[in-house]
Amino acid sequence: MSYRLDYLDQLESEAIHILREVAGQFERPALLFSGGKDSITLVHLALKAFRPGKFPFPLVHVDTGHNFPEALEFRDKLVEQLGEKLIVRNVEDTMRKRHLAEPKGKFASRNSLQTYTLLDVIEEFQFDACIGGGRRDEEKARAKERIFSVRDEFGQWNPKLQRPELWTIYNGRIDKGENVRAFPISNWTELDIWNYIRREKIDLPSIYFAHEREVLEHEGQLVATSRFIQLDPSDKVSVKRVRYRTVGDMTCTAAVESSATGIDAIINEITATKTSERGETRIDDRVSEAAMEDRKKNGYF
């Protein structure tokens, strides 16, 4: 018998360990489910961590109202298969209740408003830990975040007051009002996720695979046309074969041209590609160099 673990097995085992630490240390955890490949992978890991038992947490989806219909359909199907509890809270409701202004502009994104809904749902259910699919390779600010990341009552992250995290010992002790964001797949890269999805034969929403879609070209990025985006007469709209590398809002997620209809082809494209996942597909990160850091400090995932 070989006592060596492949790198994917090591990453998997680490993630399961973290999920079980959350279950063991917190009274009311939740798993933030966005419908994207990272949170789908989290769900798969949770199955490995807790079956034949039930998940010791509900799935929570903060719905901006700007989601891809394919992602929502997939979410509902998955939850039904799992037989686990799903809590959906809508950004639109928060906007109404709190009299928040609808963001303006061509790609008016409700991304920053998600934070309000998230903090409200945390308050509503008194969640003390939220499991998220953040990865450290996504962005420079994330690269420094702990696996157990303490947020204050306002959901804020303070990069200078992070707890040292030693060995594989996770300190989840918090005061009332505070909560912890836990990131089981911190150490995975985009390619690790895809390789794992291939190995485990995990189902994904169809938009991850090449399909025909009407898109508009904007500063070198392809954005799907939808009722959430204002078209100008000068916009170049065309039908292209595209797929998505990340699945966020229709307003702030760009597609990439691709003919990859299967997972092997996707992995080949990603291995060959020269643009990082966020740079290629996130419109909101370009705004400022410190965009992610600012949003995290304000309670973003």
Partner 1 sequence: MDLLRFITAGSVDDGKSTLIGRLLYDSKNIMIDQLEAIGRQSKNREDGEIDLALLTDGLRAEREQGITIDVAYKYFSTPKRKFIIADAPGHIQYTRNMVTGASNSDLVIILVDARHGVVEQTRRHSIIASLLNIPHVVVAINKMDLVGYSRNVYNDIVIDYAEVAKTLGLSDVTYIPISALNGANIVDRSEELSWYDGGSLLEILENVEVQNSVNLTDARFYVQYVIRPQVEELHDYRGYAGKILSGTYRKGDKITVLPSGLESTIASIEIAGKEVEEAFAQQSIILHLKDDIDISRGDLIALSGSQPQVEQDLEALLCWMGNKPLVIGNRYLLQIHSRLVKAVVKDIDYRLDVNTLQKEPSPTMIGLNDIVKISLKTASPVPFDSYNKLRTTGGAILIDETSNVTVGACMIQ
Residues at the contact surface with partner 1, assessed by CB under 8 A: 1, 3-7, 9-13, 16-17, 20-21, 23-24, 47-54, 56, 136-137, 140-141, 143-144, 159-160, 162-169, 171, 173-175, 186-187, 189, 191-192, 273-276, 278-280, 289-290, 293
Q: How far is the CB of 58 from partner 1 (least distance, A)?
A: 16
Cα 80 from Cα 59, distance rounded (Å): 12
Nearest CB to partner 1, comparing residues 63 and 138: 138
Cα 46 from Cα 59, distance rounded (Å): 11
Nearest CB to partner 1, comparing residues 171 and 206: 171
Task: Using alpha carbons, list the distances in angstroms from residue 253 to 66, 180, 205, 222.
Answer: 11, 27, 15, 9
Nearest CB to partner 1, comparing residues 186 and 258: 186
Q: How far is the CB of 91 from partner 1 (least distance, A)?
A: 27
Q: How far is the CB of 52 from partner 1 (least distance, A)?
A: 5
Q: How far is the CB of 276 from partner 1 (least distance, A)?
A: 4
Cα 294 from Cα 17, distance rounded (Å): 30
Phi, psi of 104 (to 5 degrees): -105, 170
Nearest CB to partner 1, comparing residues 3 and 234: 3
Nearest CB to partner 1, comparing residues 63 and 139: 139
Nearest CB to partner 1, comparing residues 189 and 226: 189
Q: How far is the CB of 287 from partner 1 (least distance, A)?
A: 12
Which SS3 state, helix, strand or coil, does residue 238 take? strand
The closest of 131, 178, 181 to 16, measured between CA atoms, is: 131
Cα 12 from Cα 9, distance rounded (Å): 5
Phi, psi of 233 (to 5 degrees): -55, -30
**Residue 72 burial by Cβ neighbours in a 10 Å radius (0-12, 13-18, 19+):** middle
Q: How far is the CB of 144 from partner 1 (least distance, A)?
A: 5
